[in-house]
Amino acid sequence: MSHMEISHPYFGIFLMLILASVIFFGLVFIASKIGNSFAAKNRKKLGLGMYECGPIPVRQANKMNSQFFIVALVFILLDIEVVFLFPWALVFKYLGWFGLFEIFIFILLLAIGFLYAYKKGAFEWQSIK
């Protein structure tokens, strides 16, 4: 008796996986060869040329305000709240007093996070100037 049985229930799936992998890598190889044959051979002249339209690129100072980052963090805090409160609300009847106490602790921790953000001025929008 050999180690490989053709009558195994997953043999067909394994065979399709191998066949799909061979076809995928074969198509990628063929596409790269065709692309290389049609590509421009003189790449140095193209790389040294000037860009044809638009202004000359200059380096500019980053004017991104850190307030956007703070707003994103507060948004993530709200998302986490919703993600955990929705399943809790679905099974609230089965959790009893323990579930109620647990969610009060969770909301208290979130309230501490919002209070910290409020004290740091996360909800006040400032000018970018």
- State if pTM tops 0.75: no
Confirm whether 74 is domain-assigned: yes
Instruction: Write out the chain's pLDDT in tens, 129 residues.
Output: 456 666 778 888 899 999 999 999 999 999 999 988 887 666 666 565 566 666 666 666 666 677 777 788 888 888 888 888 888 888 888 888 888 898 899 889 888 988 888 887 777 776 554
Confirm whether 20 is domain-assigned: yes
Range of the domain at 31: 8-38
- Are 71 and 115 in the same domain? yes
- Are 30 and 73 in the same domain? no
- Are 32 and 74 in the same domain? no
Q: Are 122 and 74 in contact (CB under 8 A)?
A: yes
Number of folded domains that form the chain: 2
